[in-house]
Structure 1
């Protein structure tokens, strides 16, 4: 009979099994044992052999022996680990003051204005929070207040956060985290799911219309459609674009709003635009942001059309002590400075194209790779048992992930079958990093693909 922990491990891609520590170095074993004694439920480590890092720089992490690992996984340090400009900005602010939004802070206003300049003019209000989960929680509260409705539509394996509210529409959390009765699931925009004679735009529109109809049959009007604009947990589906216009027509005709979750796809992650939704030529009603905003400091945000949020602001008390406080705002402003000074978006576009082209060349003859897909520095490589059946091969995917880790290159897995290799480095990823990644991946491919 599997234990609760083993069931949780089984659903978690690329995980370390704490029952197998015999081959680990003594220091690592001791630290993991101490960790298991004191940390609460749900914590997991990555890779069959976990790794401990003591420092980082750009897209590189270093262990206690000074070994250099290429980080092709962590999107939290958006402009790079320990970016000196961000470090200096945060240090200077920490030495001055850290206060909250109940006091006048000109730097907070400056930052909000600069951030909103990157959005369409219809999106002109921003609220700050501390995490992507908090941002999505607030977005849903506002959506429900604005619409007076409860129904939520998300994709089949979506992840939007870990609060009780947000976990109720995050199906990737698994059976131990039940979905709300007001939640309906639709396909991600995978062109392979489209029936012959139809189009992706028609398929996605039909999916949303069917979900709305089913919600109404069960007494729920639609409050919001929520999508991660890279469909990260569904397996990474960034292209083709253009299907969202019809989807939004259905959502708004039903009285709902569209929440674009840009926690992973935003801040030029997809290369050709600053925000994932912009690639589709649509303007959401609400946009949520998280991880990259403060380069690892707890800073997230929700951007609104004012007509969606104004009534909520006038009638509901909302205050978050640490959201918008001085130090995270300094980090956020520094990130925007780095974007401008280093032309980050162009770097993502150029290096992302080189990365995908190299991966396509390496995998084109493999019977175990169905697709290389993605945009910018967000790439998925789908590992299958057979290209015809598309049967997921989780075991092979995990072997590849751990072979790369053994060669000091870090990636992870995603998708319902945990069989899509997820390549999602800091945006500091350079052309030299692309070369190192491709050379190492080619070594592993000779054995596994």
Structure 2
């Protein structure tokens, strides 16, 4: 006799130990006790879906209530995480049912127009309408091979300290810079605790997290979070700097921070996993090839409410286009929508007018943060031009003056 499929429920405090055990198995030990103590402060039980088979927890998915910077605006966005199905229950439709339920909850209960996540494997989430909205660069370089322009008096001074001792400065600089960078998320007290949390198990043999502050004419205007790891060979020191974040409100602060990070005594290498595609560092160093950059995926975005999402962001140029959107999981999004707007406002309403362009909701997610070209998607066949000239007319509007970036993995 076949057992009925597990039902989904929301979490309670009594479920957290079982959730820890499930996630620790699914992610191969990434949720040790110290890390879990930080993670559980972020959990919103009412937004955490669980499935049990008998008494065993076999699937989970959660969403965090946060704000996301998008081109010209900030919008409420479900930050999806902790998604997984036990290996004993794969290929039974649990993930499909769970993701469908979560998207419905995001739309109907939370009223968030978009959802975002980091993917453990890129092949998983396009099935549920997520598009790759923000790519990133990783940096892995030999610092002895790189030079920056000589310092100027405007670069101020630097100070290295513990992050907890300068948290107010970190928060202020981040909030100053964030509105200009699509893909960055809002951070309240809990999320700053997460970003600055420093479990020993996650250090990879390196030091505790350190902060370096740049003091400009008007006070602290930039910071970096980093750690170092000692290493030696017969030729001498071979240490490494690992960078978590670099956030600067001024070019002088940005240059000074990188000059220090690339010249820490006893180190010869630097690794960074969060560079934007338009990262100024690529134009500062004397030999960009030596940065060892590699293009990888970052944020995946799902448009949950088409008219609300398209009206929430701004557009680089004036746009007036009719989009024919297909969405198998949220049929309310399927249909023709007239988008009008520009740099200052936008409006998106249903229409019976003939479509200028057609695409699925996954492609719309890739376009949403301004990092993917409309013409490039059309070249793959995933955007169809229904009216001649519509691609050339609408393409520039969906771009933005700053590339989207996903700096903080949640």
Same fold (TM over 0.5): no
Q: TM-score, normalised by structure 2?
A: 0.29
* Higher Cα Rg, which structure: 2
Higher strand share: 2
Higher helix share: 1
